[in-house]
Amino acid sequence: MRTFYNILFLTFFVLSSPYYFWRMRRRGGWRAGFGERFAIYDAALKQALTNRHIIWLHAVSVGEVNLCTQLINALEPRVPNVKIVVSCTTTTGMAELRRRLPTRVSKFYYPVDRRKFVRRALATMNPEAIILVEAEIWPNFLWRAADLNIPVFLANARLSDRSYPRYQKFAFLFQRLFASFTGVGCQNEEDATRLRAVGCRADAVKVVGNLKFDAAKLTERSALDVRGMLRQLGVPDDAPILVAGSTHDGEEILLAEMARRLRGKFQKLFLILVPRHFERCKDIGQKLKARGVKFIFRSEIFNSTDLPTDGLDCLLVNSTGELKFFYEPATVVFVGKSLTALGGQNPIEPGAQGKAIVCGPNMQNFTDITRVFLAKNAAVQVKTPEELERTIGELLADDARRAALGRAALEVVAENLGAVERTVEMVLPHLESRGIFVRKKN
C-alpha cells in the first residue's frame, strides 16, 4: 500500500509542481523558508529544538492559523516545560503565524509528503505529540508518526458532504490512517458518526464543538481604526456601510454594481470589498475601473497623505488578516464565496460583532454553523443575486430588523464557546502519560 501511494504521489508531484510553483510565485514571498518544504532547516531552528520536549501543531492556511493561535494560548500555560512549534502550508498562513505568535514559538513550512522529507522533518522535530488543525490527511506523515509511536490529534475535525464519500470510496487507503489518530476533536455528532465510519476509533472521537466560535474573541479590542480610515476617505459616520467579506471571483463586480443601484435610495452607501485572496485585487481593480466604479486600494491608505475623498464608491482591501476589523463599521455584511462559488466563508466573525449577516446558497463548508445561525434568526440566506439585492436594500432601510439579527448572532456565538478548552483537555492526559508535566487549571 505504501509503495503504491508513493508511486502515485511522486507522479502527481512531478506533474503538478509547475502549477503550484506558479501559484507560490504569484502570491509572493515564496523564497523565504522554501527549503523547509523539503525538511531543510536552518541552524537557528535546530538550536531552538535542542533538549526540549516538543509539541507540533499544523495549520494549513490563514483560517486554520486563527484556530491554532487560540489552541496555543490555551495550551502553553498548562505545559510550561514544553516548546511549541507550528507549521503551515501557505505563505499567507506563514505571514499570519509571524504576526500573531511570539518568537518563542518556532514557525516553519510543512514538509512535502515524500518519505524522505517526512522522515527528516520528524527526526528533526522529534515531537511528543502532533496536533493537526483542520488539516489534510497526508499518508506518509501519519504512517511515519505511527511508526515512531508519536500521538497525533485532529482538532476541529469535520467531514463535509463533499469529502465524506471520497474517504469512503478510498477506505482501503484511509481507514488505517484514521484509526491511527490518538484523539479526534470533532464539531458535532454528525461529524463524529462520519469520522467513526471512515475508520476513527470510537474511543478516540470526542465531540468538543467548533473552535471557530472561540476564535471570534467577543471581547478582543480592535487593532485597526477602520472608522478613522473611512473618515480619511471622506465617508461620513452616518453613511451605511456594506462589507463583502472573503469574496470570490465574480462576487466583487456583482456587489459593486448592486451597490451602485442601491445608491438610488441610499445615497451615502459605501462598499468595502475584502477578497479571500488578496493577490486577485489587481485584476478586480481593473474590472471595477472599467465599470466606472470609483475605488481606492487599502494599500494606498498606508502610503499616501493625499487621499482622494470626492465621490469614492468603494474600498478594495488588498491586505491579509484584517477582515474582522473591517466588519466593525458594517451596516450589513455579505459572506463571500456563497453566491458565485461553492463552499462559503465563516459567518462567525461578523456574528461576534453583532452584525446583520446575509449569505448566498452555497455555504457547504460551514453547513452546521449556517444552520445554527438560520435556526436562531441570526442571518438571512438568499438564493439569487436579485434576492440578495432586495434583501440588502430591505435591511438598509430597517434599523430594527438589523438590530434583531445582530443580537441573535451575538447570542449564537456566546452559546457555542468553549471548544478550545475541551480540545486542550482531550490532549493533556496523553502528554502526562509520556512524562510531561501538566499544570492544573486555575
pLDDT digits (tens, 9 = 90+) for 381-415: 999 999 999 999 999 999 999 999 999 999 999 99
Query: φ, ψ for residue 143 (rounded to 5)?
Result: -60, -45
Sign of the torsion angle spanned by Cα atoms 209, 215, 221, 226: negative
Q: Averaged over 194-209, what is the pLDDT? A: 95
Q: Are 293 and 272 in contact (CB under 8 A)?
A: no
**Residue of 38, 271, 218, 70 lying closest to 156 (CA atoms):** 70
Residue 108 has pLDDT above 80, yes or no: yes
All structural domains of the chain, each given as residue ranges with its CATH number in brackets, are: 34-218+418-433 (3.40.50.11720), 226-415 (3.40.50.2000)
Quick one: residue 195, left, alpha or beta (phi over 0 = left, psi -120 to 50 = alpha)? alpha
3-class SS string, 64-84: HHHHHHHHHHHHHHHCCCEEE
Say what the alpha-carbon torsion angle 85, 91, 96, 102 is, to the nearest 10 degrees: 40
**Strand residue runs (E) in 134-195:** 152-157, 183-186
Beta strand 270-275 pairing with 205-207: unpaired
Q: Coil, strand or helix: which one is 259?
A: helix
Q: Averaged over 1-29, what is the pLDDT? A: 80
Residue 31 has pLDDT above 80, yes or no: no
Q: Are 276 and 283 in contact (CB under 8 A)?
A: no
- Whole-model pTM? 0.80
* CA distances, 216 to each of 92, 222, 242, 362, 440 (Å): 19, 12, 20, 22, 26
pLDDT at 216: 79
**Residue of 129, 132, 41 lying closest to 82 (CA atoms):** 129
Residue 16: band (very low, low, confident or very high) from pLDDT cuts 50, 70, 90? confident
Mean pLDDT, the chain, integer: 92
pLDDT tens for 319-344 read 988 999 999 999 999 999 999 998 99
The single residue listed with the C-alpha cell 510550561 is 80
